[in-house]
Amino acid sequence: MHAFSKRGGKGIRCGAYGEAGKTPFSLPVIDFNEVTLHYLECIHVHLDNTRPKANTVIGTVTPNQIDIKGFQTPLTNPIPGMKFSDNDIQKRVLDVFMEPASLVREQGLNIDEVIRRLDLPPKKIIEAISYHNDLGHIYSTIDDFHFKSAMNG
């Protein structure tokens, strides 16, 4: 039997075995076109993620494009000692979250995995993740250390 937490946590539900879960808040619908738009966006994203891409270009394959069944090669710094600007780092961080292998992960990517794959200073990567999170490009999933793209490629 489920009961709401008595600690004033709105939207927190305590279930069997003392597990806590989140429940959504209800918001009044002001414009019913928004409901239709929401459903259409859900359908579009679902179809975009489940349909194979028909127009793939056949050409040279770089090491980062090879599908290796869940094992990702690090996206190392292509020129050792080269300095990247903040915009370059932000773009590279967002590119990691936009990869198809990253998009299909329900829990998103852990910050440590992004740091390992980019092989750039952790502080700069964390700043870039915070930047994209603030803009709504990515969002946190299971905790404050897992993020997922909100843009779906």
The whole-angstrom separation of Cα 58 and Cα 99 is 18
Q: Is residue 88 part of a domain?
A: yes
- The predicted structure's pLDDT at residue 97: 82
State which amino acid sits at residue 31.
D
The whole-angstrom separation of Cα 97 and Cα 137 is 9
3-state DSSP assignment of residue 22: strand
Q: Is residue 18 part of a domain?
A: yes
Q: Is residue 4 part of a domain?
A: no
pTM over 0.75: no
Q: Which CATH number is 127's domain given?
A: 1.10.10.10
- The predicted structure's pLDDT at residue 10: 53
Q: Is residue 89 part of a domain?
A: yes
Q: Is residue 1 part of a domain?
A: no
pLDDT tier for residue 99 given thresholds of 50, 70 and 90 = confident
Q: Is residue 58 part of a domain?
A: no
Q: Is residue 71 part of a domain?
A: yes
- The predicted structure's pLDDT at residue 53: 66
13-33 confidence digits (pLDDT tens): 555 566 666 666 677 888 888
Q: Is residue 117 part of a domain?
A: yes
Between the alpha carbon of residue 64 and those of residues 93, 146, 153, the distances in Å are: 14, 22, 16
50-63 confidence digits (pLDDT tens): 877 655 454 444 44
- The predicted structure's pLDDT at residue 67: 45
Helix, strand, coil shares, percent, the chain, to 5: 40, 10, 50
Count structural domains, the chain: 1
Domain containing 78: what range?
10-52+63-149
Weakest-pLDDT range from 24-33, 36-45, 77-86, 98-107:
77-86
